[in-house]
Structure formats: C-alpha cells, structure tokens
Copies of this chain bind each other. A is one copy, B any other.
Amino acid sequence: MTAKTEAVYSDQKKTILITGGAGFIGSHLCDRLIAENHRIICLDNLSLGIKDNIRHLFGHDSFTFIKTDLCAFGKLQNIFKKYTPDTVFHLAANSDIQKGALVRDVDLKNTFLSTYNVLEAMAQSTCKKIVFASTSAVYGELKSKLHENIGPLFPISFYGSAKLASEAYISAYCENLNLQAWIFRFPNVVGERCTHGAVYDFIGKLRKNPTELIVLGNGTQCKPYLYVKDLIDGILFGFTNSCGKINYFNLGVNSATTVDTIARIVIEEMGLAGVNIRHTGGDRGWVGDVPVFSYDLSKIHELGWHAGLDSDSSVRCAVRAELARKK
C-alpha cells in the first residue's frame, strides 16, 4: 500500500540471511524479499519472534527457517558455510527495551554480542554485506533535531547502548575485514505483528477494561511513528541506492505523535466512549525511555526516499491492523 520502491533489490536472485526473521519487522522483510524472488534464510531463536509471523512462508521453495540463537557461534558459522548468503540483514535483538533495564545482560547478549558473532561469522565467510537495524536510542536524550552526524552519543537505555556498541563494531569490521555496511536508525515502528509499544499495550488494556486506560508518564511524550511497510521500503531503498563503506541513515517521518494522541486514536478505532484516562505522571514512561525526539531526515530524503504515511496515519493504520488481527 505505502511501498513506493518497486523491486529495489531484485536485479537477480540473491541468497539473503535475515536474523530475527520471525520477529515483527523481520517477518515483513521476509515477505518483501520473497515477493522480490530472493532466497531467504530466516534465523530466529523464537524468544520474541513467533512462527505465526512466518508460517505463511513455510511452504515456499525459496524460504528456509532455522531456529537458532546467534550466541551459538559454531552453528552460525555452519549456516554461512552451507548457504553462502550474499547479504545479511541483521535485525535480531532484544526489542523489549523496558526488560533491558531490569535484566541488564539481556541486551548485552541478545543485542550486542549477537551482532559481534554475526560480524565474526561474516569475517570468516564470503559474505561481506551487512544491513543493520539500529535505532534512535543511540542518540540518547539530545535536545536538538537528530541529524546522523550529531553528538555526543550517550544512550540512556541498555538497548541503545548495545545498538551503539554494535555500530562501533560494525565500523571496525568494515575497516579491518572489508565488510560493507548499511546502518538504519529506526524510530518507533508500528504495524501488523507488533507485540510491544503504546498501540499494542493500549488495545490490550482497553480490551480488559474498556472504561479506564492507564497511560505511562504524563501523556505528552512525543515521537515519530513509522509504519512497518514504509520502514521496509526505506531500508531497501537506502541499501540499493548507496554504496559507501559505511552507509548510515535515520529512517522516519517528519511528523510525530503524542502518547495521548495514540490513546485517542485507539479509543476512536475501538468505538469506545467515556474512557477514564489516568496518567502515571512524570515526563517519561520508564527509566531509559526518551520522551521526545525529532529526526533530521534530509539525508534519506535527498537520496530520494520519503515515507508513505505520516506519524498519526501510521499509528491509525497499526491500530486497525491490531484490531483486525485479534477480533
């Protein structure tokens, strides 16, 4: 619907390894690249990803799913040897940012060391191209509009620090082992198969109790929300249209949506009325949550890509998808 880049990576059939391929975003990438006639090797440890996200691809000749944890380095080496992928799209990570604050080594292992293992397996293989799912969280709580070249980079969540650590290692591997990298810093992403975040939480809460909605923070937290199919489109556009050693882009929309607006959209779409909204207070949802940010998107825009949906529309689209799924 919103994808504007047609078959960006389909001049010839390639073998593509997708880590975290059974996750929310990874499974959409599988769909898109299968549709573009590539061979997909989908890895997932199914800790957050689920088979239901990719079950519809199981019968496809060009789709292979392997349940494995990236911490199992020997198995990863064997997968590179057996399938000799052209490119890795490395999306596997602990996407549960709040959990990372409580269980402090979960991001170390599942977000950073997993990346290290992927890079090391690539260094020992013929596969030299990595596309990496990074995040706005690497910027920490900088007050200015976030350009890719801004600093200092002091993340406030363990998720953000593990992603920045991953970027740092990708960079050294590019220099020392001749890898080539495409780093995309995602904003909040919403849409079909999403299992966390305000849209998902609010719908769950209101299904349990349609009269009251507890909102973390004061409700004014305001961030850009990108629709997942736009995100996939942006990744493939950036990957196809840049060829430096390290190519790095913010991906997002110029608009933004407050948490209170998300609550309003969810309530509207659920057809509810008279919901008592209670804020837990404070300027953010939890420690490590960046309450407000705004991307400078000039770099990806100048390359020629714009998102199809603005932030509010992305949220509404995601709400409708979630409501349709769980009917």
Contacts and interface: CB of A to CB of B under 8 A. Distances in A.
Interface of A: 101, 104, 108, 112, 116, 120, 123, 138, 140, 148-158, 160-162, 164-165, 167-169, 171-172, 174-176, 246, 248, 287-288
A152 B248 contact: yes
B288 A175 contact: yes
How many copies altogether? Answer: 2
A101 B158 CA distance: 27
Contacts of A154: 167-168, 171, 174, 246, 248
Nearest to A177: B104
A152 B161 contact: no
Contacts of A101: 176
A172 B165 contact: no
Given A152-B149, A153-B153, A168 B176 contact: no
A172 B160 contact: yes
Interface centre among A101, A148, A150, A161 (most CB of B within 10 A): A161
Contacts of A116: 108
Contacts of A175: 156-157, 287-288
A78 B154 CA distance: 29
Contacts of A140: 171
5 contacts: A156-B172, A156-B176, A161-B168, A164-B168, A168-B168
Given A149-B151, A151-B148, A151-B151, A172 B176 contact: no
A157 B172 CA distance: 5
A168 B160 contact: yes
Contacts of A157: 172, 175-176
